[in-house]
Amino acid sequence: MANEQLLILIKPDGIRRSLTGNILDKLSQLRMTIIGAKVVKVSRELAEMHYYQLKGRPFFDELLDYIQGKIYGESWNKILAFVYQGEDAISKTRKVTGVTNPEEADPISIRGAYGRITTKGVYENVIHCSSDSLEAEREIKLWFKPQEIVKDIYAIKRIIVDKEEKVVWDL
Ligand code: UDP
Ligand code: MG
Protein backbone atom coordinates (compact mmCIF):
# COMPACT_ATOMS: atom_id res chain seq x y z
CA MET A 1 0.00 0.00 0.00
CA ALA A 2 1.31 3.40 -0.94
CA ASN A 3 0.91 6.62 0.99
CA GLU A 4 -0.56 8.96 -1.62
CA GLN A 5 -1.90 12.48 -1.89
CA LEU A 6 -4.45 13.83 -4.34
CA LEU A 7 -6.39 16.94 -5.29
CA ILE A 8 -10.10 16.96 -4.50
CA LEU A 9 -12.36 19.79 -5.67
CA ILE A 10 -15.93 20.39 -4.61
CA LYS A 11 -17.21 21.86 -7.87
CA PRO A 12 -19.55 24.90 -8.03
CA ASP A 13 -22.70 22.74 -8.24
CA GLY A 14 -21.62 20.98 -5.02
CA ILE A 15 -21.23 24.34 -3.25
CA ARG A 16 -24.48 25.76 -4.65
CA ARG A 17 -26.50 22.77 -3.58
CA SER A 18 -24.99 22.80 -0.08
CA LEU A 19 -23.38 19.40 -0.52
CA THR A 20 -20.04 20.26 1.12
CA GLY A 21 -20.95 18.60 4.41
CA ASN A 22 -22.29 15.45 2.74
CA ILE A 23 -19.22 15.11 0.52
CA LEU A 24 -16.71 15.69 3.33
CA ASP A 25 -18.62 13.21 5.49
CA LYS A 26 -18.31 10.48 2.83
CA LEU A 27 -14.61 11.28 2.38
CA SER A 28 -13.98 11.18 6.14
CA GLN A 29 -14.95 7.50 6.14
CA LEU A 30 -11.82 6.80 4.07
CA ARG A 31 -9.53 7.74 6.97
CA MET A 32 -7.41 10.12 4.96
CA THR A 33 -6.01 13.35 6.35
CA ILE A 34 -6.43 16.89 4.93
CA ILE A 35 -3.08 18.58 4.33
CA GLY A 36 -4.33 21.59 2.31
CA ALA A 37 -7.66 23.41 1.92
CA LYS A 38 -8.93 26.67 0.43
CA VAL A 39 -11.77 28.38 -1.42
CA VAL A 40 -10.89 29.44 -4.98
CA LYS A 41 -12.52 31.65 -7.60
CA VAL A 42 -11.44 29.78 -10.72
CA SER A 43 -9.96 31.85 -13.55
CA ARG A 44 -10.29 30.87 -17.20
CA GLU A 45 -6.54 30.17 -17.28
CA LEU A 46 -6.66 27.87 -14.25
CA ALA A 47 -9.71 26.05 -15.67
CA GLU A 48 -7.95 25.52 -19.01
CA MET A 49 -4.76 24.28 -17.38
CA HIS A 50 -6.67 21.96 -15.08
CA TYR A 51 -8.60 20.36 -17.97
CA TYR A 52 -5.90 20.71 -20.68
CA GLN A 53 -6.27 17.05 -21.67
CA LEU A 54 -9.89 17.65 -22.71
CA LYS A 55 -9.14 20.58 -25.03
CA GLY A 56 -10.79 19.95 -28.40
CA ARG A 57 -13.65 17.88 -26.97
CA PRO A 58 -17.12 19.20 -27.96
CA PHE A 59 -18.06 19.99 -24.35
CA PHE A 60 -14.79 21.82 -23.50
CA ASP A 61 -16.17 25.39 -23.43
CA GLU A 62 -19.18 24.36 -21.35
CA LEU A 63 -16.85 22.46 -19.04
CA LEU A 64 -14.76 25.61 -18.46
CA ASP A 65 -17.94 27.59 -17.73
CA TYR A 66 -19.07 24.86 -15.35
CA ILE A 67 -15.84 24.59 -13.32
CA GLN A 68 -15.77 28.40 -13.10
CA GLY A 69 -19.37 28.35 -11.86
CA LYS A 70 -20.34 30.84 -14.55
CA ILE A 71 -23.71 29.28 -15.21
CA TYR A 72 -24.84 29.92 -11.63
CA GLY A 73 -24.02 33.63 -11.28
CA GLU A 74 -21.76 35.70 -8.98
CA SER A 75 -22.56 34.03 -5.66
CA TRP A 76 -21.58 30.57 -6.80
CA ASN A 77 -18.49 31.09 -8.93
CA LYS A 78 -16.15 29.34 -6.54
CA ILE A 79 -14.93 25.90 -5.61
CA LEU A 80 -13.37 24.30 -2.54
CA ALA A 81 -9.95 22.73 -3.11
CA PHE A 82 -8.39 20.10 -0.85
CA VAL A 83 -5.24 18.04 -0.74
CA TYR A 84 -5.90 14.75 1.02
CA GLN A 85 -3.29 12.17 1.97
CA GLY A 86 -3.58 8.52 2.99
CA GLU A 87 -2.88 4.89 2.19
CA ASP A 88 -4.16 4.16 -1.33
CA ALA A 89 -5.93 7.50 -1.18
CA ILE A 90 -6.49 7.79 -4.94
CA SER A 91 -8.22 4.49 -5.63
CA LYS A 92 -10.27 4.72 -2.42
CA THR A 93 -11.44 8.23 -3.31
CA ARG A 94 -12.26 7.33 -6.93
CA LYS A 95 -14.40 4.49 -5.57
CA VAL A 96 -16.57 6.63 -3.27
CA THR A 97 -16.67 9.33 -5.96
CA GLY A 98 -18.12 7.04 -8.63
CA VAL A 99 -17.56 7.07 -12.40
CA THR A 100 -17.58 10.28 -14.46
CA ASN A 101 -21.12 9.95 -15.87
CA PRO A 102 -23.47 10.48 -12.90
CA GLU A 103 -26.16 8.33 -14.50
CA GLU A 104 -23.78 5.39 -14.70
CA ALA A 105 -22.25 5.97 -11.28
CA ASP A 106 -23.11 3.69 -8.37
CA PRO A 107 -26.19 5.33 -6.78
CA ILE A 108 -24.55 5.40 -3.36
CA SER A 109 -21.38 7.03 -4.69
CA ILE A 110 -21.03 10.83 -4.47
CA ARG A 111 -21.61 11.35 -8.18
CA GLY A 112 -24.36 8.74 -8.34
CA ALA A 113 -26.20 10.33 -5.42
CA TYR A 114 -25.77 14.01 -6.31
CA GLY A 115 -24.69 14.41 -9.96
CA ARG A 116 -26.80 15.22 -13.00
CA ILE A 117 -26.37 15.76 -16.75
CA THR A 118 -27.20 19.30 -17.92
CA THR A 119 -29.39 20.02 -20.94
CA LYS A 120 -26.14 20.94 -22.74
CA GLY A 121 -24.76 17.49 -22.00
CA VAL A 122 -22.15 18.41 -19.37
CA TYR A 123 -21.74 15.98 -16.50
CA GLU A 124 -22.31 18.10 -13.40
CA ASN A 125 -20.81 15.59 -11.04
CA VAL A 126 -20.11 17.76 -7.95
CA ILE A 127 -16.58 16.54 -7.25
CA HIS A 128 -13.20 16.27 -8.95
CA CYS A 129 -10.46 13.94 -7.78
CA SER A 130 -7.09 13.13 -9.32
CA SER A 131 -7.04 9.80 -11.13
CA ASP A 132 -3.41 8.68 -10.56
CA SER A 133 -0.33 9.87 -8.70
CA LEU A 134 1.19 11.65 -11.72
CA GLU A 135 -2.01 13.59 -12.31
CA ALA A 136 -2.23 14.27 -8.57
CA GLU A 137 1.25 15.81 -8.52
CA ARG A 138 0.53 18.00 -11.55
CA GLU A 139 -2.81 19.15 -10.14
CA ILE A 140 -1.62 19.80 -6.58
CA LYS A 141 1.26 21.90 -7.92
CA LEU A 142 -1.17 23.78 -10.15
CA TRP A 143 -3.70 24.59 -7.43
CA PHE A 144 -1.53 24.97 -4.31
CA LYS A 145 1.67 26.76 -3.35
CA PRO A 146 4.15 24.78 -1.22
CA GLN A 147 3.46 26.91 1.86
CA GLU A 148 -0.30 26.21 1.61
CA ILE A 149 0.28 22.52 2.35
CA VAL A 150 1.15 21.47 5.89
CA LYS A 151 3.42 18.58 4.87
CA ASP A 152 6.47 18.33 2.64
CA ILE A 153 5.22 16.22 -0.26
CA TYR A 154 7.20 17.35 -3.32
CA ALA A 155 10.58 18.99 -3.85
CA ILE A 156 10.68 22.77 -3.52
CA LYS A 157 13.21 25.43 -4.36
CA ARG A 158 13.94 28.93 -3.10
CA ILE A 159 14.15 31.72 -5.66
CA ILE A 160 14.70 35.45 -5.35
CA VAL A 161 12.00 37.71 -6.82
CA ASP A 162 12.35 41.50 -6.35
CA LYS A 163 15.03 40.91 -3.70
CA GLU A 164 12.66 38.66 -1.73
CA GLU A 165 13.05 34.93 -1.24
CA LYS A 166 10.14 32.84 -2.51
CA VAL A 167 9.45 29.13 -2.06
CA VAL A 168 8.13 27.45 -5.22
CA TRP A 169 7.73 23.91 -6.52
CA ASP A 170 10.89 22.52 -8.06
CA LEU A 171 9.22 21.48 -11.33
N1 UDP B 1 -17.03 15.58 -18.74
C2 UDP B 1 -18.24 15.76 -19.41
N3 UDP B 1 -18.57 14.91 -20.43
C4 UDP B 1 -17.75 13.88 -20.81
C5 UDP B 1 -16.53 13.71 -20.13
C6 UDP B 1 -16.21 14.57 -19.10
O7 UDP B 1 -19.00 16.67 -19.07
O8 UDP B 1 -18.10 13.15 -21.76
C9 UDP B 1 -16.67 16.50 -17.64
C10 UDP B 1 -17.08 15.95 -16.27
O11 UDP B 1 -17.49 17.03 -15.44
C12 UDP B 1 -15.77 15.33 -15.78
C13 UDP B 1 -14.74 16.30 -16.34
O14 UDP B 1 -15.26 16.68 -17.62
O15 UDP B 1 -15.72 15.22 -14.37
C16 UDP B 1 -13.34 15.72 -16.51
O17 UDP B 1 -13.40 14.56 -17.31
P18 UDP B 1 -12.58 13.24 -16.95
O19 UDP B 1 -12.68 12.32 -18.11
O20 UDP B 1 -11.20 13.62 -16.48
O21 UDP B 1 -13.43 12.59 -15.75
P22 UDP B 1 -13.15 12.50 -14.18
O23 UDP B 1 -11.67 12.26 -13.98
O24 UDP B 1 -13.61 13.81 -13.58
O25 UDP B 1 -13.98 11.35 -13.72
MG1 MG C 1 -10.00 13.21 -14.81
Residue spans per domain, the chain: 3-148
Task: Please state, in angstroms and as integers, the Cα–Cα distance from residue 107 to each residue in 23, 35, 64, 101, 102, following that order.
Answer: 14, 29, 26, 11, 8
Task: Indicate yes or no: pTM above 0.95.
Answer: yes
Ligand 1 neighbourhood includes 122 CB (under 6 angstroms)? yes
Question: Strands 127-129 and 123-124, how do they pair?
Answer: unpaired
Segment 141-166, tens digit of pLDDT? 999 999 999 999 999 999 999 999 99
Question: Ligand 1 centroid to 12 CA: how many Å?
Answer: 14
Ligand 1 neighbourhood includes 128 CB (under 6 angstroms)? yes
Q: Known catalytic residue: 128?
A: yes
Residue 144 CB: number of other CB atoms within 10 A?
Answer: 21
Segment 71-105, tens digit of pLDDT? 888 888 999 999 999 999 999 999 999 999 999 99
Ligand 1 neighbourhood includes 7 CB (under 6 angstroms)? no
Mutate to test the pocket of ligand 1, among 11, 63, 122 (most ligand atoms within 8 A of CB): 63
Are the C-beta atoms of residues 22 and 114 closer than 8 Å to each other?
yes
* Contacts of residue 161, Cβ cutoff 8 Å, sequence gap at least 6: none
Residue 19 has pLDDT above 90, yes or no: yes
Segment 22-40, tens digit of pLDDT? 999 999 999 999 999 999 9
Residues within 5 Å of ion ligand 2, judged at the Cβ atom: 131
Mutate to test the pocket of ligand 1, among 123, 132, 135, 138 (most ligand atoms within 8 A of CB): 123
Residue 78 CB: number of other CB atoms within 10 A?
Answer: 18
Give domain 3-148's CATH architecture: 2-Layer Sandwich (3.30)
Return the HEC string of the chain. CCEEEEEEEECHHHHHCCCHHHHHHHHHCCCCEEEEEEEECCCHHHHHHHCHHHCCCCCHHHHHHHHCCHHHCHHHCCEEEEEEEEECHHHHHHHHHCCCCCCCCCCCCHHHHHCEECCCCCEECCEEECCCHHHHHHHHHHHCCHHHCCCCCCCEEEEEECCEEEEEECC
